[in-house]
Amino acid sequence: MDADAVGVVTGASRGIGAAVSRRLARLGAQVLLVARHRERLEELAAQIESEGGRAELFAVDLTQEEEIAALGETIRKRYGRCDVLVNNAGISRMGAPLHAMQPADWDELMATNLRAPYLMIRALAPLMIERQSGHIVNISSLAGHNPLRNGAAYSASKWALNGLTYSVAEELRDYGVRVSVIAPGSVNTSFGGHEPANAAARIQPEDIADIVAMLMEQRPQSFVSEVLIRPARKP
């Protein structure tokens, strides 16, 4: 990776986002850590820097259009480029059938899981187009390929994110910008607000970071559209 490369990771404060951020830093990128929780970002930035990497944190509410627009302007002025964008932030809101879900919960889920990636792409894709290079990676889920009982809204958001990814890839490929989606199964994170059972049997956040690193190392004449990843054993 170019020594001046800039990577932006949303939902960077823990789990997959933190693992991806550490991996991009080890690849040599200046990593911009984006999430709501400043304290967690500060801890991660300190860890990355203690390992010889470079990180800057941005406490941003990804449901707020103006905050994402301001982030894009700051990145343009400060760095003038964005080489990698990993849209990882997401929420679940699972456990009940769709007809029992409150509209406010639906709106919050879609704002985080689908609208935020759109706004991040809107803010940062122009920097990639100007340089005729870049890579956007959207973190989806196997729930975006399969029915999910008592998780219809979450599943819908990930089906939609997949469709967004494939279509944006077609829009940007002529500019040398690659767009990929990673769809994991059960990951060992506290996603959803609780610690997972059978943690050792689950996909680890570092497994997703490995895939992101692989995508970054693709030769320029090709790109991987989607990666599906499952635990070796059912957790």
Catalytic residues: 154
Pick from 168, 20, 203: which is nearest to 33 by CA?
20
CA distance 33 to 54: 10
CB 127 within 8 A of CB 134: yes
Taking residue 54's Cβ as centre, other Cβ atoms within 10 Å add up to 15
Which pair of structure tokens corresponds to residue 21? 């951020």
Which pair of structure tokens corresponds to residue 96? 């009940």
Residues 6+ apart with CB under 8 A from 114: 157, 160, 161, 164
Burial, 220: exposed, middle or buried (Cβ in 10 Å; 0-12, 13-18, 19+)?
Answer: exposed
Partnered with residue 182 across adjacent β-strands are 139, 227
DSSP SS3 for 6: strand
CA distance 91 to 108: 9
